[in-house]
Amino acid sequence: MTYPTRPTRPTRRTRPASPIVQSFAVRIAIGADHAGFSLKEHLKQTLARLGHSIEDLGTTSEASVDYPPICFAVAREVAEGRADRGIVLGGSGQGEQIAANKIAGIRAALCNDLYTARLSREHNDANVLSMGGRVVAFALADAILELWLTTKFEGGRHQRRLDQISAQEKRCNT
């Protein structure tokens, strides 16, 4: 007995994997408020295992603390070239991203999933990663971090857009 065959659907085109750009150690400035403290401590271990150097800019416990000064400090380390990348952590990561983005030259991205982590690097050349300690579990945070650190900026049309952002930033800071 023969069975009718199902019509085949066209195969979905998949995007090629992002090229890996950073297989070497980078200098990472990291900071968190009380809600991101435990994730910060975990990510410091992950970064050390991956061979990166870490500058911990606080906080040192789960005692309540305001996040803006910590995020400004992390962002300044990156903007002034003392760190290659920065990581800011809080409860949701939203306020931390906003605070870090107040420093000229910073492109902080809130990445609580792999898709936004990849695009933040490919399209926006994000130099500060923000995550929410109350949103992202340790295993996912590790995957986000590793993807974010190894994804290359695509340049091209994306560079043109970053140039427009930089020009506006300069106008606002003069």
Q: What's the order of all strands across the beta sheet hosting 128-132? A: 53-56, 27-32, 85-90, 128-132, 108-110
The whole-number pLDDT of residue 24 equals 75
Per the annotation, the verdict on 96 as an active-site residue is yes
Taking each helix axis from N to C end, the angle separating 37-49 and 138-150, rounded to the nearest 10 degrees, works out to 50
The whole-number pLDDT of residue 41 equals 98
The whole-number pLDDT of residue 13 equals 39
**Residue in 41, 123, 146, 154 annotated catalytic:** 123
The whole-number pLDDT of residue 23 equals 54
pLDDT tens string, the chain, 174 residues long: the values are 554 444 444 443 333 333 434 457 899 999 999 999 999 999 999 999 999 999 999 999 999 999 999 999 999 999 999 999 999 999 999 999 999 999 999 999 999 999 999 999 999 999 999 999 999 999 999 999 999 999 999 999 999 999 999 999 899 987
Which fold does the domain 27-172 belong to in CATH?
Answer: Ribose 5-phosphate Isomerase B; Chain: A, (3.40.1400)
User: Taking the model in full, what pTM does it have?
Assistant: 0.85
Per the annotation, the verdict on 123 as an active-site residue is yes
**Is-contact 85 114, C-beta < 8 A?**
no
**Residue in 42, 52, 77, 96 annotated catalytic:** 96
**Is-contact 27 53, C-beta < 8 A?**
yes
